[in-house]
């Protein structure tokens, strides 16, 4: 007895298996990252530089918490323009002077996952 599985059935089966393997990221509870203690130094040193997001150019400044939050969806790093831009998922290549270090990227990722707290 032969069982014929069409391409559509195989694809649907693989898609269901793929979806069942997805899970929400584990949100680290310690250390707690905040904008003022951890993220602001990264944005000030890499984004809010002369001619970029410093407030003197036509680009939106990235100096204060409220300015940075225009680019952040708390709890959702991959929906946050700040995060997708620094890991180069968007068309922009930022920061222009070179990529952030892995610890800096990880800090921003966890900060957003934890809800993008100010203090």
- pLDDT tens digit sequence for 74-107: 999 999 999 999 998 666 678 877 889 999 999 9
As a whole number of angstroms, the distance between CA 83 and CA 85 comes to: 5
**pTM, 2 dp:** 0.74
Sketch the domain layout of the chain as residue ranges.
27-113
36-82 confidence digits (pLDDT tens): 999 999 999 999 888 889 888 888 999 999 999 999 999 999 999 99
As given in the structure block, the two tokens for residue 60 are 């939106």
């Amino acid at each position: 007895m032969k069982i014929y599985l069409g391409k559509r059935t195989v694809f649907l089966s693989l898609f269901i298996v793929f979806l069942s393997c997805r899970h929400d990221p584990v949100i680290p509870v310690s250390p707690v990252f905040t904008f003022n203690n951890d993220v602001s130094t990264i944005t000030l040193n890499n984004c809010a530089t002369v001619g970029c997001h410093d407030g003197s150019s036509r680009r939106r400044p990235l100096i204060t918490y409220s300015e940075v939050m225009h680019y952040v969806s708390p709890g959702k790093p991959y929906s946050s323009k700040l995060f997708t831009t620094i890991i180069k998922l968007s068309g922009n290549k930022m920061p222009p002077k070179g990529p952030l270090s892995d610890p800096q990227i990880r800090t921003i990722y966890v900060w957003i996952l934890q809800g993008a707290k100010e203090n």
